[in-house]
């Protein structure tokens, strides 16, 4: 039985491992200064149509967030995020440990709104309070929702008006950009922020996040910051080879679209079985069910228990590059049998 626990349960897409096999006898210089990394960077610059962007390959999401945020902010500056934001909840205080306050807002559907940002700005008036200097958003968000073009543009406009950087956590950016509801291109993303990253770990790579820096004022000496945070991979060329493989022939987005499509199918099938399913935008499917059902689901499909709603529970299914249509059908059949339907 295939698990639906998350999108980082398998080593990597087979074409990534093939690329590593192909390069097994190569020698490359270390620390990301090799030809593969150079090539992968160019592929990303080409993708976003911006040859001036800096691209750096880091290992994981928390590390990337910490490295960029601690680079961008001075001791007394803070980053604004929704309360459900990854940096606020699931990074064990790495942003604070590297010295910076996260100012949280409630937002809506996991997303921040211009009004949220303006409220924070309005309430931070003097040197007895931190100075807001950056907005952090995730696309797709921690609860699987996505930003529409209009929303992103409005946020970035608000940021620029208030002298704030906009940084986009793209751990699941491919999922967002291939969502059925998406109207953003990756060029739009790059034009409407100061920095973002293309997540690899959750989209078919063994590891690796491609951090893109658009704003010139965030570029200088950035490799020093990477090393300072213990985030510079000795064998950086592996990241380069991985990204070359995943970006080739649009594989990066095809993978994500496939996972999304299977999530939509899963959602339909779960509804067919009578479950309450939150609207699905990307590859995360949130389902409300009884305690017993939740127990069965977590045991049999590896799903995480997401929220305890008292009488009921919310569980999360995640599809990935390795999920096949038949896996969804098998899950459906197994559940159907369990429910005696």
Q: Strand, coil or helix: what is 129?
A: coil
Smallest distance, Å, CB 99 to a copy of itself?
5
Q: Would you state the structure tokens that stand for residue 67, as one six-digit string?
A: 């490295």
What DSSP string runs through 9-74?
A: SSS--HHHHHHHHHTTT----STT-SHHHHHHHHHHHHHTT-TT-EEEEES-HHHHHHHHHHHH--
Footprint of a copy of itself on residues 297-316 (CB under 8 A)? 302
What is d(CA 179, CA 338) in angstroms, rounded to the nearest whole number? 31
Among 40, 53, 55, 232, binds a copy of itself (CB under 8 A): 232
Question: Of residues 204-223, which lie at the interface with a copy of itself (CB under 8 A)?
Answer: 206-207, 221, 223
Which residue in the set 93, 108, 324, 336 belongs to the binding site for a copy of itself (CB under 8 A)? 93
Smallest separation, CB 47 to a copy of itself (Å) = 24
Q: Does 246 bind a copy of itself (CB under 8 A)?
A: no
Contacts of 169 (CB under 8 A, 6+ apart): 61, 64, 65, 85, 86, 87, 136, 137, 138, 139, 196, 197
Tell me: does residue 2 bind a copy of itself (CB under 8 A): yes
Q: Least distance to a copy of itself from the beta carbon of 83, Å?
A: 10
| CB contact at 8 A, 99 and 66 | no
Instruction: Return the residue of 70, 84, 141, 319 that touches a copy of itself, per CB under 8 A.
Output: 70
**Stretch 125-144 residues interacting with a copy of itself (CB under 8 A):** 127-131
Nearest to 74 by CA among 155, 134, 119, 116: 134
Q: What is the CA radius of gyration of the chain?
A: 20
> Which residue from 50, 94, 185, 298 is in contact with a copy of itself, where contact means CB under 8 A?
94
Please report whether residue 326 would count as binding a copy of itself according to CB under 8 A: no
Footprint (CB under 8 A) of a copy of itself, residues 151-190: none
CB nearer a copy of itself, residue 291 or residue 302: 302
Number of residues lying near a copy of itself (CB under 8 A): 80
């Amino acid at each position: 039985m295939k698990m639906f626990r998350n999108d980082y349960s398998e080593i990597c897409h087979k074409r990534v491992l093939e690329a590593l096999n192909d390069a097994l006898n190569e020698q490359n210089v270390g620390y990301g200064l090799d030809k593969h990394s150079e090539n992968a960077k160019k592929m990303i610059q080409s993708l976003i149509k911006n040859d001036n962007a800096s691209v750096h390959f880091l290992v994981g999401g928390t590390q990337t967030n910490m490295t960029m945020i601690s680079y961008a902010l001075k001791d007394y500056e803070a980053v604004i995020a929704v309360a459900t934001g990854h940096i606020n909840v699931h990074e064990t205080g790495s942003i604070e440990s590297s010295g910076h306050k996260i100012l949280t807002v409630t937002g809506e559907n996991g997303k921040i709104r211009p009004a949220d940002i303006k409220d924070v700005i309005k309430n931070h008036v003097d040197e007895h309070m931190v100075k807001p200097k950056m907005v952090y958003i995730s696309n797709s968000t921690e609860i699987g929702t996505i930003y529409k073009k209009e929303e992103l543009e409005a946020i970035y406009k608000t940021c620029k008006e208030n002298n704030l950087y906009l940084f986009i956590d793209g751990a699941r950016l491919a999922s967002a950009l291939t969502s059925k509801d998406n109207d953003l291109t990756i060029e739009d993303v790059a034009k409407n922020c100061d920095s973002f990253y293309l997540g690899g770990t959750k989209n078919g790579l063994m590891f690796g996040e491609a951090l893109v820096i658009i704003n010139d004022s965030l570029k200088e000496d950035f490799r020093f910051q990477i090393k300072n945070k213990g985030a510079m991979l000795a064998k950086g060329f592996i990241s380069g080879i991985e990204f070359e493989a995943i970006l080739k022939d649009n594989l990066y987005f095809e993978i994500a679209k496939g996972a999304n499509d299977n999530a939509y199918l899963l959602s339909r099938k779960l509804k067919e079985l009578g479950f309450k399913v939150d609207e699905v935008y990307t590859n995360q499917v949130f389902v409300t069910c009884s305690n017993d059902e939740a127990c069965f689901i977590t045991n049999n499909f590896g799903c995480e228990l997401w929220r305890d709603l008292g009488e009921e529970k919310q569980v999360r299914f995640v599809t990935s590059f390795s999920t096949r249509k038949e896996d969804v059908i098998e899950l459906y059949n197994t559940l159907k049998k369990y429910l005696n339907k």
